[in-house]
Amino acid sequence: MLIALAFQGFSIVQLLREKPHYVNEMAERLGLEQSRISHNLACLLNCGFVEWEWNGKNKVYRLNSDLQPVLTGIEKHLVKYAPALESCKTLASESKPVVVIAKVNQIGARRRPLGRTGK
C-alpha cells in the first residue's frame, strides 16, 4: 500500500490543531469543495490522524490528541532548521513539488475504525 501525505490533508491537520471543525467550516476556511474535504478526512480517519463525534446532526472533527506532541516536535525542528532550509540551493532547480511516498508493510498494518460513537 502506498501512502502520500498530500498538501490538502496536511492543511486539514493544521486547521484542526486550532480547534475542532465541521466539514463545511473546513471547506470555507481552506477554499476547497466539501467533497474534497470529506475524501481527505476519510483518509485521515483511516490513518488515525483525526477523530469525530456527533454534534446534533453533524459530525465535528478534531485532531487525534496523540499527534499534538509529534506535530509540536516537528514544528520546533522546522523552526530550528528554517534558515538552513531557506538557504539550501539543492531544491532551487526543482520545477515540480516533490511528493514523499512510503511503503507500508501490510502484514503488520492495522486499520482503525472509521469514526467513533458519540458521547
Around 73, how many Cα atoms within 13 Å sit in the side-chain half-sphere? 5
Within a domain: 112: no
Show the beta-strand stretches assigned E in the chain: 2-4, 50-55, 58-63, 101-103
pLDDT of residue 93: 66
Within a domain: 78: yes
The domain in which residue 76 lies consists of 2-103
Residue pLDDT tens, the chain, 119 long:
233 345 678 889 999 999 999 999 999 999 999 999 999 999 999 989 999 999 999 999 999 999 989 988 988 988 888 888 778 777 666 655 555 454 554 444 444 444 554 44
Within a domain: 55: yes
pLDDT of residue 114: 46
Distances (CA, A) of 67 to 9, 34, 44, 62: 14, 24, 12, 11
Give the CATH number of the domain where residue 29 resides: 1.10.10.10
